[in-house]
Chain A
Amino acid sequence: MLRYLVLRLAGVIPQLLLISLLAFVIMKSAPGDPVASLVGGREFMTQADYERVARNLGLNEPVVVQYGRWLGNVLQGEWGHSIQDGRKVSTVIAGALANTALLIGVAGVGIVLVSLIAGHLAGTRAQRPVDYIVSAAALVSFATPAFWLGLLLILLFAVVFDWLPSSGLVTLGSPDTLVTRLQHLILPVATIILAHAGPYVRLVRGSVRDVLASDYYRAAVARGLPRRILMWRYELPNALTPFITWCGVSLPLLVGGAFIVEWVFSWPGIGLLFLKAAIAKNYTMLMAAVLVTGAFVIIGNLIADLLVAWLNPKLRRQYGHR
């Protein structure tokens, strides 16, 4: 297993490199003069001072060296200050990351549950009413933009019925309790699940059908094993591998969708930060958001891959471990 981990970690390096390059390019292409902005304008500096400051900032060095220095700073957590309000970017990002992790975490668990249950129902009752309903719903879900569904849910549950809060993490002016926090979670989480579960459901349905049509499943039925065992030891474990693989592969899609949902519901996470930064052209923040998102996705992918490897006996055997 350790060998697999090392091999897989080596594959992460180009991904991290690419994401950091993207972030660096964002930072470098910020309009304006970084030296002049330090003192509020070019006209306040002599030519000599200007050049000295530029040298101190390393701006006259080759781009590769600048990238190296920038990477070093980033790795040490020095991400600079937001050009809008001067707050430390790392602090802002850390708080937002927790909120995003909460949102994506809860929604992710929801998607896993919904797709496993719906996929099981549809797959085991292929071409019956349950299957038609689930499959049709999955098709529609796949075609629905998350932001629009979010707007509809706000319209229905917050505007028309006034049952649930439509924005933010907490309601200003009212006590911050677990209940209100949960209430604020409901609509954004529901939006992500409904707009994203489609392909997951279809995948599980397909794998369940594959398992049910397989020789080993038929052999197990012929052995007289009860439904309980068939489901938990045959259907689920065998359908799980393609499912987890897909979870890893589709993580970028899910994260992208969650960002828009954060925007629609003013959920104070990385996505909201990122989109606000993109619209306000706040490049330091944009860079930081890109870095964090990239790292988030890459780590998620890694976890999915390791899980799949751990679940797969062939890989487990191939990479040692008894």
Chain B
Amino acid sequence: MDIVNVNPADVKPASEMRRLLRAFLRHRLAHAGLLGLLLITVAALVGPTLVHHSAQTSNLDAIYSGPSWSHLLGTDQLGRDLLARLLAGAQVSLSVALAATIVASLLGCLYGLVAGMGPVWLDRVLMQFLDAMLAIPVLLLVIVSQAFGESSLLKVIVVIGLASWMGTARLMRTECGRLMQSEFINAAIMGGASRLSLALRHVLPNAAAPLLVVVTVGIGQAVLIESTLSFLNLGVPSTLPSWGNLLGNGMSSMLSGAWWVVLFPGLMIVVTVLCINLVGDGLRDTVDPKRRTHL
């Protein structure tokens, strides 16, 4: 059997995947990012049980009290403990970002696969629409969508997902084009594989690595979009603490001199997105060593 006719994904688990994993683990910045994400996730999961204060209980005697031993990061305009709210907010912000990215990735993959493997006219139409979508600022889309109707957690997730599938779709379409030219796909077509099995068994597994890069970076972008929406009070319901919500009345807090209310939630966002991007960079360099972008 000619070696080029073998689906690379079938060969990967043995050697290729291990090589990629090893290369990824050698990437020092990706290490830092992974470690940071791990810490943030653990903090979000077990943190709230370790903090004495509740994220929701207000204490009108301690409005805007600065960082101290009893409130490590200070309190907000209702005297709620900021650390407790940050940790609870981490759960909300991260799960919204993750869920929205899953929605976007599924949609993007499906769209790209249909465009890349469907009839040519459909491909043209879909890619025109994609290009047109890319010309509209994502923030504009999500804000317009959020301006209609009541806000709910599910709605935020769907809205962010529906506004950020384009990158994945574009990548999937490109990968389809690339892979459909390859020898092993031709061999599979000769062997009578159906479109569906081509897409699921051959194209998707071989596009997995670059997809992973886009999805990873997408989570970071989703965190940023969610925080912006919530900051404008157009995101998750204001009763839920999310990092963006905590910043929501940042302006008035700041004018009261409560800088900690603004500083810490923002730092959480920056550190989280930074760590995600570091992991994304590491993945990209591993998948495509020729285009190293990092330091």
A and B touch in the complex (CB under 8 A): yes
- Which A residues contact B (CB, under 8 angstroms)? 11, 14-15, 17-19, 22, 26, 29, 127, 131-132, 135-136, 139-140, 142-145, 147-149, 151-152, 154-155, 159, 202, 206, 249, 252-253, 255-257, 259-260, 263-264, 274-275, 277-279, 281, 286, 290, 293-294, 297-298, 301
Contacting pair A147 B231 (CB below 8 A)? yes
Query: Roughly how many angstroms separate A155 CA and B254 CA in the complex, as a whole number?
Result: 7
Check B247 for interface membership: any CB of A closer than 8 A.
yes
Q: Which residues of A contact B270 (CB under 8 A)?
A: 140, 143-145, 148
Interface bits B210-221 vs A (CB < 8 Å: 1, else 0): 000000000010
Q: Which residues of A contact B227 (CB under 8 A)?
A: 145, 148
Interface bits B252-270 vs A (CB < 8 Å: 1, else 0): 0011010100110110011
Query: Roughly how many angstroms separate A26 CA and B218 CA in the complex, as a whole number?
Result: 27
Asked, given contacts A14-B129, A279-B147, whether A260 binds B136 with beta carbons under 8 Å apart, the answer is no
Contacting pair A19 B273 (CB below 8 A)? no
Which 8 pairs between the two chains have the least Cβ-Cβ distance?
A: A256-B139, A148-B266, A143-B273, A256-B137, A252-B137, A18-B132, A278-B147, A143-B274
B71 to chain A, nearest CB (A): 20
Interface size on B, residues (CB 8 A): 48
Q: Tell me the B131-147 residues at the A interface (CB within 8 Å).
A: 131-140, 143-144, 146-147
- Which B residues contact A (CB, under 8 angstroms)? 128-129, 131-140, 143-144, 146-148, 220, 224, 227-228, 231-234, 247, 250-251, 254-255, 257, 259, 262-263, 265-266, 269-274, 277-278, 291, 293-295
Contacting pair B129 A18 (CB below 8 A)? yes
Q: Which residues of B contact A298 (CB under 8 A)?
A: 135
B105 to chain A, nearest CB (A): 19
Contacting pair A135 B273 (CB below 8 A)? no
A-B CB contact pairs (8 Å), 7 listed? A11-B131, A143-B272, A252-B138, A256-B139, A257-B139, A275-B143, A294-B135
Q: Which residues of A contact B257 (CB under 8 A)?
A: 159
Q: Which residues of A contact B293 (CB under 8 A)?
A: 202, 206
Residue of A nearest to B128 (CB): A14
Q: Which residues of A contact B220 (CB under 8 A)?
A: 143
For the complex with contacts A259-B139, A278-B144, 7 further pairs of A-B residues with Cβ separation under 8 Å are A135-B294, A135-B295, A143-B270, A151-B251, A152-B263, A152-B266, A155-B254
B213 to chain A, nearest CB (A): 15
Q: Which residues of B contact A29 (CB under 8 A)?
A: 148
